[in-house]
Structure 1
Amino acid sequence: MRAGRERPGPDNKQAAPLAKGRPDDPHPMRPDRKPMNTTVPTPTHRPDVDMDVDPAFFEQAPPQDLEAEQCVLGGMMLSKDAITDVVEILEPGHFYKPAHETIYGAITGLFTRGEPVDPITVTNALQRAGELARIGGAGYLHALIQTVPTAANAAYYAEIVHDRAMLRRLVTAGRRVTDLALAGEGDVEQIQDAAAAEINAAILQRADTETLPIGADDQDLIDELEAGQRGETEAGVPTGFLDLDNLTGGLKPGQMVIVAARPALGKSTLALDFARHAAFAAGRTAVFFSLEMSRRELQMRCLSAQAKVGLHNLKTAGGMDAAAWSRVAETMTDMRRAPLLLDDATGATVATLKAKCRRIQQRQGLDLVVIDYLQLLQSGRSRPESRQVEVSEMSRNIKLMAKELGVPVVVLCQLNRGPEQRVDKKPMVSDLRESGSLEQDADLVILLHREDAYDKESPRAGEADLIVAKHRNGPTATITVAFQGHYSRFVNMQSDF
């Protein structure tokens, strides 16, 4: 039972299950009252309860309360207030019996259109949709009205239906986890990630929110304003780029941050710089998921940037002198202590990444997530409708992931060829490849541009622009930084090279 809902009955005590002549039933079962019609076909398959699994594992019937479902629907046909209460709790898929799901859809459809809701109008709606016979006919709808004790209890019965639906989801997730373990396909860690993703998907629920007057929490607002004026506002995760951090206040919890560029301009390097600074300089736990580079390559790049030893020198025989070896040794010591996690998550889905992040968060805390890069993620769908729809769905799921984890998630994206068709080669938000929803979902969009990548004679050789093209609730700007490709890093222009 969720907070904020009172159970009906004297002194708010727990109500007994529906029964004939229950004390709080204003209409106890009378001799002239017809019993409930139970001839409606029972479901042979439910999307949320997979029956393809060996029934020997789970011999009990899935959790459900058909009588509560009937009382919900009957109450909704008796009272518009009951409809208002129920729709805040239930979705169509929460009903176990398909016929009840269909009736619920008809009721909410009428309600949404502002039309009357009663057995007659619901019958007509179902008849027009060709569903009346499948749900048991008009007689079943009238029987629902007769069964409900009182429409005032509809929200309470809806909570029961909701709770049973959540239990069914857990049962289904348990079955799928069992199947994954028994199949044994892939390594153990992949199976664990997939299992965790199933469980997390089953328990994920939208948090109940309360609608409040605009001034209800004004003291909290005043405290926040005063803290901001004193310079005490909680800072986000620093990126290490001073002008960018001054503009944004750091990367904030729940933000989806897009770093986008054309190929080979250094977006992976920039994102690794964010993670490096967060872990090495600020002591924040960061995880870098690379779907493109191996863990070893990430380590080498990080070592080169931290130790100021050229990446080429690290890989070339005799490329390091004694001073370079000394810096490498010192950096290796720092790397062992730094809370920076690397994962070459080839073929990952958003669900598996979220499962890994949850484990990290529970084990040691988590402050920053970097995903390199979006277009290499798998959607998990066997037959996606289109690539644009697929990317839009992944974008939305990443945004939800950031909010659920309460950490900033930096997502790298490829730009289309738009910049190359312009004279100045500068990127725009509209160049984001395959989905307009990326701009919509993102809180911060940073477009990386380097003139010398297109013009070798450019007077701005070694410079790069971080174009903050979108900044939700903040200003936009173009920030110039230095690109040190030999060290695999970007640095502030004021830095000592």
Structure 2
Amino acid sequence: MTTVPSSRRPAHHQDHDQDVAPVSPLEQRVPHDKAAEQSVLGAAILSKDAIGDIAQTLEPLGGTAFYIVAHETIWVAITAMYAAGQDVTPITLGHRLTVEGTIDRVGGHAYLSQLVDACPNASLAAGDAEIVLDRAKLRRLATAGNHITQMALAGQGEADDILDASAATIGQVTQTTGPAARLTMNDVMELVVDEIETIERDGKQTGIPTGFADLDSLTGGFLPGQMIVIAARPAMGKSTLALDIVRSASIKHGLRSAFFSLEMGIKEIGMRMLSAEARVALHHMRMGTVTGEDWQRIARVLGQVRDAPIDLVDNAVTTLTQIKAHCRRLKQNGGLDLVVIDYIQLLQAGGRRPETRQQEVSDISRNIKLLAKELEVPVVALSQLNRGPEQRTDKKPLVSDLRESGSIEQDADMVILLHREDAYEKESPRAGEADLDVAKHRNGPTSTITVAFQGHYSRFVDMASQTEYGHSV
């Protein structure tokens, strides 16, 4: 049998026939199945229908599913002829390979005939292709494992950085497993109609409820895969607003949230949440002047707050790498519905830093969006604004005021600008009010929503709730 000269092939693609130079024991253990590869190619030469079946099976890896480089070359030629509408036979395939100058490298015309003989039945081609794909996946996993081992032994970065890079490496392997979904427009329209009917039956709310009726009405809640940026100048209450959203999702609706605070400690967060939920003045808690009535209010909600599925992570976490690793663990152990990061400008990219802070923030922003897509949960990222609002007469923030990086606006699916007029004008007729300016909304309209700010309870509420509970401490 004519074989491909070993000198013309990369070591990792050698055909292990007896008439080639001996290879190392490790090379012999590389997962592959020569007989299955030959049978697949023989079927493709015998049957045009088999080519389509094989191509669909091998789609995740394409030509690289073949271990033997000669087989990869032959398969690429076959698929090119198939796409051009040309008949594939040993003669026409041999002619094409001759024109390309690769016929000798694949073993000549004799080897093409041997491939046909190696195929017992062209109708079994898809099954043999499954074997070829399985061995290719194993090779990729082995390569990924070696890469991870090398990174760990070389000490390339901190352990968390290597862990994240390892997860990404494995992810690249798993992303190639399984054929891509093939949907006709009829299939797509059925999915769309089903979605419309579900929304009509169950109501417009399809995402994570924020606790603010007008905001939920505008957005349908925060949706999986979305990056939502809440931005404001310091001391406007963006952390408070984020905690309100977490309380709504986890305490009111039992959804699992992860709140990463790079600024406040765990006790501070817990005290604010309890103040907001029990409607007990935060300064009473801090000053030790809690009344008997206050304790009764605390007792009524304490069990509900304690049982809420909220993961609080304080400022010990400083990099997005650590956040990603933590979120993956939560996702794998009990699930995850919402992530909040407080706030972007306090994060570090991890690993080797870019040359400028602006580039670093851009990298962080882009990776937050990727995190939302990977985990299929909404990620709320808080952000500071620059001093632009303070230099304008009306003090109202703009999306262009996002601090340090315009890429935050580009990456975000939604940008909510938080503004309180009474933070600048103590005698403002709008004292106790706050504007949630939905300045960017990729999936719908923009609008400004007015809510009530109850600073003494460390919370924002709908205006209707403000009327119900009043302002008294």
Q: Does TM, scored on the shorter chain, surpass 0.5?
A: yes
Give the C-alpha shift of residue 119 in structure 1: 5.7
Of 2, 18, 34, the match for 2:2: 34
Amino acid paired to 2:209:
P
Indicate the SS of the match to 1:257. Answer: strand
Q: Deviations over 1:103-137 (max 9, x none)?
A: 89x99xx99xx9xx9668977xxxxxxxxxxxxx9
Contact kept, 8 Å, 1:462 with 1:484, in 2: the verdict is yes
Note closer, same or farther for the CA distance 1:278–1:34 as it changes in structure 2 (3 Å cut): same
Give the C-alpha shift of residue 240 in structure 1: 0.8
In structure 2, what is the equivalent of residue 241 of structure 1? 212
In structure 1, what is the equivalent of residue 88 of structure 2? none
Of 424, 428, 433, the match for 1:458: 428
- Report 1:2-151 matches (<5 A): 34-39=2-7, 40-42=9-11, 63=31, 88-90=59-61, 140=105, 149=115
Q: What is the rounded CA distance, in whole Å, between the counterparts of 1:204 and 1:307 in structure 2?
A: 46
Amino acid paired to 2:233:
R
In structure 1, what is the equivalent of residue 221 of structure 2? 250
In structure 1, what is the equivalent of residue 437 of structure 2? 467
Contact kept, 8 Å, 2:60 with 2:179, in 1: the verdict is no
Q: Deviations over 1:12-42 (max 9, x none)?
A: xxxxxxxxxxxxxxxxxxxxx6321211343
- Which segment is superposed worse, 369-378 or 177-186? 177-186
Amino acid paired to 1:298:
I
Contact kept, 8 Å, 1:224 with 1:233, in 2: the verdict is no
In structure 2, what is the equivalent of residue 167 of structure 1? 138
Would you say 1:353 and 2:323 are equivalent positions? Answer: yes
Q: What is the rounded CA distance, in whole Å, between the counterparts of 1:294 and 1:374 in structure 2?
A: 17
- Report 1:209-224 matches (<5 A): 209-224=180-195
Q: What is the rounded CA distance, in whole Å, between the counterparts of 1:379 and 1:229 in structure 2?
A: 42
Size of the aligned set, in residue pairs, is 432
Contact kept, 8 Å, 2:3 with 2:106, in 1: the verdict is no
Amino acid paired to 1:37:
P
Contact kept, 8 Å, 1:256 with 1:410, in 2: the verdict is yes
Contact kept, 8 Å, 2:210 with 2:222, in 1: the verdict is yes
- Report 1:179-198 matches (<5 A): 197=167
In structure 2, what is the equivalent of residue 323 of structure 1? 293
Indicate the SS of the match to 2:311. Answer: strand
Bigger radius of gyration: 2
Q: What is the rounded CA distance, in whole Å, between the counterparts of 2:185 and 2:137 in structure 1?
A: 33
Of 239, 264, 272, the match for 1:293: 264
In structure 2, what is the equivalent of residue 14 of structure 1? none
Amino acid paired to 1:458:
S
In structure 1, what is the equivalent of residue 277 of structure 2? 306
- Which segment is superposed worse, 248-257 or 139-148? 139-148
- Which segment is superposed worse, 269-278 or 155-164? 155-164
Contact kept, 8 Å, 1:180 with 1:195, in 2: the verdict is no
Of 419, 437, 452, the match for 1:449: 419
Note closer, same or farther for the CA distance 1:59–1:451 as it changes in structure 2 (3 Å cut): farther
Q: What is the rounded CA distance, in whole Å, between the counterparts of 2:230 and 2:246 in structure 1?
A: 13
In structure 2, what is the equivalent of residue 370 of structure 1? 340
In structure 1, what is the equivalent of residue 397 of structure 2? 427
Q: What is the rounded CA distance, in whole Å, between the counterparts of 2:197 and 2:170 in structure 1?
A: 38
In structure 2, what is the equivalent of residue 265 of structure 1? 236
**Which segments of 5 or more consecutive residues in structure 2 lack a partner in the other structure?**
14-25, 85-92
Q: What is the rounded CA distance, in whole Å, between the counterparts of 1:336 and 1:417 in structure 2?
A: 39
Q: What is the rounded CA distance, in whole Å, between the counterparts of 1:144 and 1:331 in structure 2?
A: 81
- Which segment is superposed worse, 152-161 or 272-281? 152-161
Q: What is the rounded CA distance, in whole Å, between the counterparts of 1:146 and 1:62 in structure 2?
A: 23
Indicate the SS of the match to 2:187. Answer: coil
In structure 2, what is the equivalent of residue 486 of structure 1? 456
Give the C-alpha shift of residue 284 in structure 1: 1.9
Give the C-alpha shift of residue 483 in structure 1: 1.8
Contact kept, 8 Å, 2:226 with 2:373, in 1: the verdict is no
Note closer, same or farther for the CA distance 1:353–1:139 as it changes in structure 2 (3 Å cut): farther
Q: Deviations over 1:195-243 (max 9, x none)?
A: 9846863654167443433223544444443444445456322111111
Amino acid paired to 2:363:
E
Contact kept, 8 Å, 2:227 with 2:378, in 1: the verdict is yes
Q: What is the rounded CA distance, in whole Å, between the counterparts of 1:376 and 1:156 in structure 2?
A: 53
Indicate the SS of the match to 1:364. Answer: coil
In structure 2, what is the equivalent of residue 382 of structure 1? 352
Give the C-alpha shift of residue 475 in structure 1: 1.8
Q: What is the rounded CA distance, in whole Å, between the counterparts of 2:28 and 2:457 in structure 1?
A: 62
Query: Over aligned residue pairs, what C-alpha RMSD do you find?
Result: 5.1
Note closer, same or farther for the CA distance 1:391–1:219 as it changes in structure 2 (3 Å cut): closer
Q: What is the rounded CA distance, in whole Å, between the counterparts of 1:482 and 1:145 in structure 2?
A: 82
Contact kept, 8 Å, 2:4 with 2:106, in 1: the verdict is no
Give the C-alpha shift of residue 67 in structure 1: 9.3
Q: What is the rounded CA distance, in whole Å, between the counterparts of 1:329 and 1:356 in structure 2?
A: 32
Indicate the SS of the match to 2:397. Answer: coil
Question: Could you say which structure has the higher helix fraction?
Answer: 2
Q: What is the rounded CA distance, in whole Å, between the counterparts of 1:69 and 1:392 in structure 2?
A: 44
Give the C-alpha shift of residue 178 in structure 1: 7.2
Q: What is the rounded CA distance, in whole Å, between the counterparts of 1:121 and 1:256 in structure 2?
A: 52
Q: What is the rounded CA distance, in whole Å, between the counterparts of 1:224 and 1:373 in structure 2?
A: 34
Note closer, same or farther for the CA distance 1:232–1:291 as it changes in structure 2 (3 Å cut): same
Indicate the SS of the match to 2:186. Answer: coil
- Which segment is superposed worse, 441-450 or 383-392? 383-392
Contact kept, 8 Å, 1:193 with 1:356, in 2: the verdict is no
Q: Deviations over 1:419-454 (max 9, x none)?
A: 344333323333334555444443322221222333
Indicate the SS of the match to 1:483. Answer: strand
